[in-house]
Amino acid sequence: MSSNLGLAAAHDTSIEERYTPVPLLEGKVIVLSGVGPGLGRSLGEEAAKLGADLVLVSRTASRLEKMAEVVRSYGRRALVVPTDVTDEASRAELVEKALEEFGKVDCLLNNAFSIPPMDPITQIKVEDLARVNETNVFAPLRLSALFADALSAAKGSVIMLNSCVSFSSQPEYAGYKLSKGALEHLASSLATELGPRGIRVNSVAPSYIYEDVNRGYFDYLAAVENKTHEDVYREKAEPTDLKRLASSEEVARATLFLASDLASAVTGQMLTVDCGEFHD
């Protein structure tokens, strides 16, 4: 392991050692879509640590059940609702089950996403771009609309998981950037439309998150480019002010701040969580 990567790992360890969860989300109900490995899991676990009950949403029931066990291990309630977020009937059933179980919803956390082929955008089939936008843009729009009455009653919030890909111009990221750019504008528009009803709408944009998926991606890049994993990590971390990459837990905690009452006057914003890679 290179000294730079070793220092980053040590820094991450020190952060975890000094971090103590507090009940910022006590009594709140969060609907979390896109439960899966990496950030999805961390969002669920960190929310439970902060006192929230969760409605867990993805297509795979077995994955949801595993996440529910984690949530319940912290003494919180978890409702498992296998859902296809691109299907209107499935979305409507999700809303019905969430309100039937908990009687309210305080936050809708739109984390489900799809990635198009990593080709220049003129080489991607329009059908593939449309399919990705069904998950990345239209599903968050429809879920926000369907949960709006409940969120208004709770004076709650919507959080969109975006990406720092919005600041990138590499051709291979263009298809993903298209959907995430649309999602950013959607969040801004919803903040204006839903604000008078007491609903806050914000976005979170991580850069590279150092978790299992990206660790595998770094291994792939290392093999293709004849480098070590540590070389790839160092290259990705170099543009950041902190000279390291954020963990999925760190991104989750920053995201969940926006669901808390500490952020009661924050809406229409996109928070970058990137260890200082992109800023003026």
Token pair 């919030």 in the structure block, residue: 157
Distance from the Cα of residue 205 to its chain's centroid: 8
Q: Would you say residue 100 lies in a domain?
A: yes
Q: Please report the pLDDT score of residue 9 as a whole number.
A: 60
Structure tokens at 96: 């019905």
Q: Would you say residue 15 lies in a domain?
A: no
Output the CA angle 8-110-74, nearest 5 degrees: 65
Domain holding 121: CATH number? 3.40.50.720
Q: Would you say residue 144 lies in a domain?
A: yes
- 16 or 92: whose pLDDT is higher? 92
Return the axis-axis angle of helices 139-154 and 174-194, rounded to nearest 10°.
30
Residue 2 has pLDDT above 50, yes or no: no
Full-model pTM: 0.94
Q: Would you say residue 94 lies in a domain?
A: yes
How many structural domains are present in the chain? Answer: 1
131-156 residues labelled b (16+ CB within 10 A) or e (exposed): ebbbbbbbbbbbbbebbbebbebbeb
pLDDT digits (tens, 9 = 90+) for 150-161: 999 999 999 999
Q: 276 to each of 91, 207, 251, 265, 272, how far by Cα in Å?
A: 36, 10, 13, 24, 8
Q: Would you say residue 6 lies in a domain?
A: no
pLDDT digits (tens, 9 = 90+) for 192-250: 999 999 999 999 999 999 998 899 999 999 999 999 999 999 999 999 999 999 999 99
Q: Would you say residue 151 lies in a domain?
A: yes
Q: Would you say residue 95 lies in a domain?
A: yes
Rounded to whole angstroms, the Cα distance separating 71 from 250 reads: 18
Q: Which residue range is the domain that position 178 belongs to?
A: 21-208+247-265
Q: Would you say residue 241 lies in a domain?
A: no
